[in-house]
Amino acid sequence: MPGRSLSILLGVTGSIAAYKSLDLIRRLEGEGVSVQVVATRNALPFFPVLTAEVFSGHPVETDLFNPVLPRGEGEGRVSHLALLEKADAVLVAPASADFIARMALGLADDLLSTLLLSATVPVLIAPAMEEAMYRHPASSAHRKTLRERGVVEIPPDSGPLASGKSGLGRMASVDRILETLLPVLRETRPPSGPLSGVGVLISSGPTREPLDAVRYIGNTSSGRMGDALARAALARGARVTLVSGPTALPPPPGCDLHRVATAREMEEALGSLFPSHPLLIMAAAVSDYRMKDPVPGKRKKDGGEWTLSLVENPDILKGLAERKKAGQFLVGFAAESSLDPDRLLEKCRNKKVDLLVANDISRTDIGFSSPENEVTLVTPAGGFRTLPRADKTAIAGQILDAVLASGWTPPSALA
């Protein structure tokens, strides 16, 4: 079904965690996944139906005894089967202890349980209950039965529970649910797009160079630009690998994340991943220097000065550009205190990149730790184009569109 967006059926059952399902709907819609909610009767006291309908753009279905579709929509067919036809996966979040038991037993006494009994697409559950219920042998046995049938369990977190106690049983965070669900969905039906199936390798965030066991040289890069590029590439159908220095950001769902700390760790990770990726985007703010001999343990103060001896780190991008094979396209970033065209062109050619994205780091309203950016695109042939200030998501999309408009054709395989 080319062009149809991914779609899930979200089952909401009776748990206080049902309020989190609203955020889940928003985040899924943001990822381009259409959501049809089916709520059980026990969910309704906890679940703001009208808000869910506004967020999802579909009526929340609850009623099994509404057997035929309205005129013009497959008139005469049983409606719950029609709800399933559109779904690429079924996610039950929150999944209460009672509902998990009913799933395991194969009961079909309401709309959601009936749908699950007919589902042939992947099914995922995010349990939410008190710790004692979660650990009860009956609950454990039901979850085991479901797992054996291929149901994916997104295990709960520990933390404050509805009873006021603290323990295991909070529904997994929306980030963790998406991390599990989106790859399952994308495998069901890989997204189409101009980068469909193309391996895109993105470096992101700062690096940290240790001075001793607790101190380091870092920089103010938030990783937001690399994160936005990863999301934009995923939305265009790419297979994305993200090599990230330390950031506070959760990984974009569906990408393969490699976390590193130092420039040399980043060099090693990128070096082994580069040969299998046609497109490299080097958005990381790599520290140019590292401490020559980091102090073992924590350096004690001694009343005197501490003189640091720094040595240069490898230029990762330059090293990778030297190993570039036919069909590969390299995008570099430039952090400059003023955008001098001669210097930018020299950097573009010196780094041997196909496109250089230059940031003006003297501005505090854009760039490094800001959600917005304004960049100048430079090509080795001397082409200059400014992308006016916009949020990093929009800038990331425009950078990828510039790569795709450059005449580069992603190869089906690398030699």
As annotated, the active-site residues are: 219
Q: How many CA atoms lie within 13 A of 83 on its CB side?
A: 30
Stretch that binds ligand CTP, among 118-126, 280-288, 363-371, 377-385 (CB under 6 A): 280-288
Interface with ligand CTP in residues 134-163 (CB under 6 A)? none
Q: Select the residue interacting with ligand CTP from 56, 222, 313, 376 (CB under 6 A).
A: 313
What tokens does 347 get?
Answer: 């950097």
By the 8 A CB rule, do 171 and 128 touch?
A: yes
Q: Is 334 in the site for ligand CTP (CB under 6 A)?
A: yes
Q: Is 282 in the site for ligand CTP (CB under 6 A)?
A: yes
Q: Is 265 in the site for ligand CTP (CB under 6 A)?
A: no
What's the rounded Cα separation, in Å, for the pair 384 and 3?
A: 34
Stretch that binds ligand CTP, among 106-114, 214-222, 312-320, 376-384 (CB under 6 A): 312-320
What tokens does 338 get?
Answer: 């003023």
What tokens does 122 get?
Answer: 């992947």
Q: How many CA atoms lie within 13 A of 184 on its CB side?
A: 22
Quickly tell me which residue has 């730790």 as its tokens.
369
Q: Select the residue interacting with ligand CTP from 263, 330, 387, 395 (CB under 6 A).
A: 263
Q: Select the residue interacting with ligand CTP from 315, 360, 372, 401 (CB under 6 A).
A: 315
Q: Is 284 in the site for ligand CTP (CB under 6 A)?
A: yes
Interface with ligand CTP in residues 342-361 (CB under 6 A)? 351
Question: What b-and-e string marks burial along 13-30, b requiring 16 or more CB atoms within 10 Å of the CB?
Answer: bbbbbbebbbebbebbee
By the 8 A CB rule, do 344 and 336 touch?
A: yes
Residue 186 burial (CB count, 10 A): 19
Shortest reach from residue 243's CB to ligand CTP, in Å: 11
Q: Select the residue interacting with ligand CTP from 286, 330, 345, 355 (CB under 6 A).
A: 286
Stretch that binds ligand CTP, among 63-71, 170-178, 271-279, 313-321 (CB under 6 A): 313-321
Per the rule left: phi > 0, alpha: psi between -120 and 50, beta: everything else, 254 is left
Q: Which residues bind ligand CTP (CB under 6 A)?
A: 263, 282, 284, 286, 288, 313, 315-317, 332-335, 351
